[in-house]
A = this chain, B = another copy of it.
Amino acid sequence: AQALRLAVVAGDGIGTEVVEQGLLVLEAALHGTGTTVSTTDFDLGARRWHATGETLTDTDLDAIRGHDAILLGAIGDPSVPSGVLERGLLLKLRFALDHYVNLRPGRLYPGVTSPLANPGEVDFVVVREGTEGPYVGNGGAIRVGTPAEVANEVSVNTAFGVERVVRDAFARAAARPRKKLTLVHKHNVLVHAGHLWRRTVEAVNAEFPDVTVDYLHVDAATIFLVTNPSRFDVIVTDNLFGDILTDLAAAITGGIGLAASANINPDRTAPSMFEPVHGSAPDIAGQGKADPTATVLSVALLLDHLGQTDAARRVEAAVAADLVERGSADRVRSTAEVGKDLAARVAG
């Protein structure tokens, strides 16, 4: 029997509600596999910051490192100045734990309504770089608040950082039936970063000769996401473009209530982190209205990462079956009801 030590960061707003259901489904999925789960709750987010002024201390980070994986609900609250929790907690976790693969599937499940008139079959995955680009926090401003203010933001891109995420994306593409990789960047304007990405994709392609590669500027990629999303198989892109494209991808596949993500450290030098793409949604927090499905699908990504592929597929199948029935349901279930139903389906 194996024990999975899971760090739980429920966080703010609806985070607590959805994580509770995610854990329920995780337990159900691991039942009978011989793997047990032990969880440690981490009090991180707006409440902690208001009480102590802390976002994520070295002690927190060390304690988290002692776990096999992290399940995160949502971070952020309007009562906290913009950037404090995002940069001081969420991005700090991604950077400190070297989550260089930010994996975000874009999949339209049968029965789910897309805002697109003719979405077609949508089943791609975005490999968003997670530790570089404009997210490094390498910006600054002078003469703040005066008419002579200058505020800069630096996007940092390294051969080391780009190559490792590109290689991961190629490996994922090679393992999929269509074996297609689309690089998204803006190399006609951001020529230095863009050419590094392009050269790296060309070079790594030699290691994966059966993967077909194409390229889209980020602006054109948004067009294809609404006019022909079926054209995408694996997308690899930088941190900021990945942020933008994955929200759009979530929108066309039924909304952020369904969008899962994994912040993966493929070298396993630190725990990977699994979180829904949505935020803390303070407007509906505490009302049992949040859809826990995105968290449950993030649990499937967690199971995949742990090598529990059967369990992962069962979770996805449970979600797929649940989504088909939602269309004909006579009422909207609460967060806990959806979690309970999904756990029951997983238990079989």
Interface window among A10-18, A28-36, A242-250, A302-310: A242-250
Instruction: Tell whether, in the assembled complex, residue B157 and residue A154 are in contact, meaning their CB atoms are under 8 Å apart.
Output: no
Instruction: Tell whether, in the assembled complex, residue B248 and residue A223 are in contact, meaning their CB atoms are under 8 Å apart.
Output: yes
Determine if A155 is an interface residue (Cβ-Cβ < 8 Å). Answer: yes
Is chain A's interface secondary structure helix, strand, loop, or mixed overall? mixed
Indicate with 1 or 0, residue by residue over A69-102, a CB within 8 angstroms of chain B CB atoms.
Answer: 0000000100000110011000100000000000
Determine if A251 is an interface residue (Cβ-Cβ < 8 Å). Answer: yes
Determine if A176 is an interface residue (Cβ-Cβ < 8 Å). Answer: no
Instruction: Tell whether, in the assembled complex, residue A152 and residue B156 are in contact, meaning their CB atoms are under 8 Å apart.
Output: yes
Q: A159-B146, A219-B247, A244-B218 are in contact. Are A151 and B196 (CB under 8 A)?
A: yes
Q: Find residues 95-151 in chain A having any chain B CB closer than 8 Å to their own CB.
A: 114-118, 134-135, 139-141, 143-151
Determine if A205 is an interface residue (Cβ-Cβ < 8 Å). Answer: no
Determine if A194 is an interface residue (Cβ-Cβ < 8 Å). Answer: yes
Q: How far is the CA of A319 from the CA of B153 in the complex (A)?
A: 41
Determine if A189 is an interface residue (Cβ-Cβ < 8 Å). Answer: yes
Q: Which residues of B contact A326 (CB under 8 A)?
A: none
Instruction: Tell whether, in the assembled complex, residue A194 and residue B82 are in contact, meaning their CB atoms are under 8 Å apart.
Output: yes
28 contacts between A and B (CB under 8 A): A76-B188, A82-B195, A83-B188, A87-B191, A115-B118, A115-B226, A115-B227, A135-B189, A139-B155, A139-B192, A147-B163, A149-B158, A149-B159, A150-B156, A152-B154, A152-B155, A189-B240, A189-B243, A218-B244, A219-B246, A222-B222, A222-B248, A223-B247, A223-B250, A223-B251, A223-B256, A226-B248, A227-B251
Q: Which A residues lie at the B interface, using CB under 8 A?
A: 76, 82-83, 86-87, 91, 114-118, 134-135, 139-141, 143-160, 163, 186-196, 198-199, 218-220, 222-223, 226-227, 240, 243-244, 246-248, 250-252, 255-256
Among A114, A118, A244, which residue has the most Cβ atoms of chain B within 10 A? A244
Instruction: Tell whether, in the assembled complex, residue B219 and residue A149 are in contact, meaning their CB atoms are under 8 Å apart.
Output: no
Q: How far is the CA of A256 from the CA of B115 in the complex (A)?
A: 20
Q: A147-B160, A156-B150 are in contact. Are A222 and B196 (CB under 8 A)?
A: no
Smallest distance from the beta carbon of A131 to chain B beta carbons, Å? 13
Instruction: Tell whether, in the assembled complex, residue B243 and residue A219 are in contact, meaning their CB atoms are under 8 Å apart.
Output: yes
Q: How far is the CA of A206 from the CA of B226 in the complex (A)?
A: 38
Among A192, A246, A250, which residue has the most Cβ atoms of chain B within 10 A? A192
Smallest distance from the beta carbon of A12 to chain B beta carbons, Å? 13
Instruction: Tell whether, in the assembled complex, residue A189 and residue B91 are in contact, meaning their CB atoms are under 8 Å apart.
Output: yes
Instruction: Tell whether, in the assembled complex, residue B240 and residue A252 are in contact, meaning their CB atoms are under 8 Å apart.
Output: no
Q: A155-B153, A188-B86, A191-B82 are in contact. Are A226 and B139 (CB under 8 A)?
A: no
Q: How far is the CA of A140 from the CA of B191 in the complex (A)?
A: 9
Q: Which residues of B contact A243 (CB under 8 A)?
A: 186, 189, 218-219
